[in-house]
Structure formats: structure tokens, C-alpha cells
Structure 1
């Protein structure tokens, strides 16, 4: 038995750094991911495609781990970085984008959007109880990521 939890997130923030600095950091997937909490391992699959292996959550045989892969595309002229899911990699399907806009020479505005569907080996009876917990955890990770990015500049 398995349950699937779907998550949609949108964030906006301003970074006190130039457009080039911010875009270059976000487009460098390993550098960007180094600011994301609880990533156990980021595996380079080639062709700007990476598998995320998150830290396990839970205890012993009840521990669950999110694993998914995405292919990344960066278009500096358009100010957009996007990621698409790689089928058959892990238990998650994740897509999304960054929209990067220069406000002035030293301030950059960011819009982050992501969608995730995580399939977990849990009985369907637990879906109502576990979905809010997983969504809260994912929100918390993304909020920490946003703060870490701000602090990186």
C-alpha cells in the first residue's frame, strides 16, 4: 500500500545582491542545493540532471525517504530557471521554477514555484493524518532554504 501527497508552494523574496550573482548561484544546481536543508545526497546524473536523496524521517523500519530527480534548464536572458521531473527516479515527482528579476544594481527579486507529488509506502488510512505533517515539513524546508539563500549574500 502507498499514499501520494501533493504539495504546491510559491514564495517571493528579495536578495541584496546583483542579478548576475543571484542567477549564477541558482543556476549552479549543486551550489544552490548546498543551501537546502536535510539533503543527504545530490547525485549528478549528467546533462544538468540531478537526483535528490533527502535525509530519512522516522524511526527504523518506519523511516521514509524522499528521492526524486529533475532536469534543470537555465535561461539567463529570460531570467528563468526551471526543473522538470525525471520519470522512474525515486518516489517523488517534482517540477518548478525560479523567476529572477533585477530591481536595481544591488537588489534582485525572486519568485519560486514548485509542485511535488511524493508517494510513500504507508497504509491509505494514514493519508489524512500524515499529509498535513509532510506538507508542513516541506514548507519548513523551503522556508529554511529561502533564509539560507538570503544569508548567502
Structure 2
């Protein structure tokens, strides 16, 4: 048995860096991912496609690991970086985007939007109990990621 948890997140923040520096960091997936907490492995699948393997959460046979892959595309002139899921990779389906806007020479506004569906091998009876926990953990990871990005500048 398995349950699927859907998560949608939106974040907006100002980063104390130039448009070019912020865009270049976010468009460089391995560099950007280095600021995301609890990544066990980021596997380069080629063609700007990466598989994210997150650290396992839980104990022994009850440990859950999120694994998903995305193909990334970046357009500096429009200030967008987007990612689309790769079918057949892992137990998650993740898509989203960054929208990047200059607010001057040393401040850049970023909007982060992502949708994720994570399928975990748990009985459906646990969905009501575990869904809020998974959503909270994902929110916490993204909040830490945003904080880490700000600190990078």
C-alpha cells in the first residue's frame, strides 16, 4: 500500500545580490542544491536533468526517502528558471519555477513556486496522520533553503 501527499509552496524574498549573480546561482542546479538541506545525493542525468535523492527519514524498515528527477530550463532575459518532472524516476513528481526580478544594483526579488506529489509506502489509514508531517517537513526544508540562499550573498 502507498499514499500520495500533494504539496504546493510559494515563497517570495529579496536577496542582497545583483540580478546576474542571483540568476547564475539559481540556474546552476548543483550550486543551488548545495544550499538545500538534507540532500543525500544530486545525480547529474545529463541534459540539465538531475535526480534528487533526499536523506532518509525514520528508522530501519520504516525509513522514507524522497527521490525525484527534474529537467531544468533557464531563460536569463525573461528571469525564469523552470523545472519539469522526469517520469519513472523515484517516488516523487516535482515541478516549479523561479521568477527573478532586479530591484536595483544589489537587491534581487525572487519568487519560488513548486508543486510536489510524494508517494510513500504507508497504509492509507495513516494518510490523515502523516500528510501534515510530510507537508511540515517540506515547508521547513524550503524555508531553510531560502534562508541559506540569502546567506550565500
The TM-score bracket by the shorter chain reads over 0.9
Structure 1: unaligned runs, 5 residues or longer: none
Query: Is the aligned partner of 1:22 residue 2:22?
Result: yes
Residue by residue over 1:80-123, the C-alpha shift from the partner in whole angstroms, topping out at 9 and shown as x without a partner, is 00000000000000000000000001100000000000000000
Structure 2: unaligned runs, 5 residues or longer: none
The residue that corresponds to 1:98 in the other structure is: 98
The residue that corresponds to 1:116 in the other structure is: 116
Matches within 5 A, 1:29-68: 29-68=29-68
RMSD after superposition: 0.2
What is the rounded CA distance, in whole Å, between the counterparts of 1:16 and 1:117 in structure 2? 32
Query: Is the aligned partner of 1:148 residue 2:148?
Result: yes
Q: Give runs of ≥4 in structure 1 deviating > 6 Å.
A: none
TM-score (norm 2): 1.00
Q: How many residues of Structure 1 are paired with residues of Structure 2 in the alignment? A: 153
Query: Is the aligned partner of 1:131 residue 2:135?
Result: no
TM-score (norm 1): 1.00
What is the rounded CA distance, in whole Å, between the counterparts of 1:12 and 1:121 in structure 2? 33
Matches within 5 A, 1:73-88: 73-88=73-88
The residue that corresponds to 1:7 in the other structure is: 7
Residue by residue over 1:55-91, the C-alpha shift from the partner in whole angstroms, topping out at 9 and shown as x without a partner, is 0000000000000000000000000000000000000
1:46 Cα offset (Å):
0.1
1:22 Cα offset (Å):
0.1
1:152 Cα offset (Å):
0.2
What is the rounded CA distance, in whole Å, between the counterparts of 1:102 and 1:20 in structure 2? 9
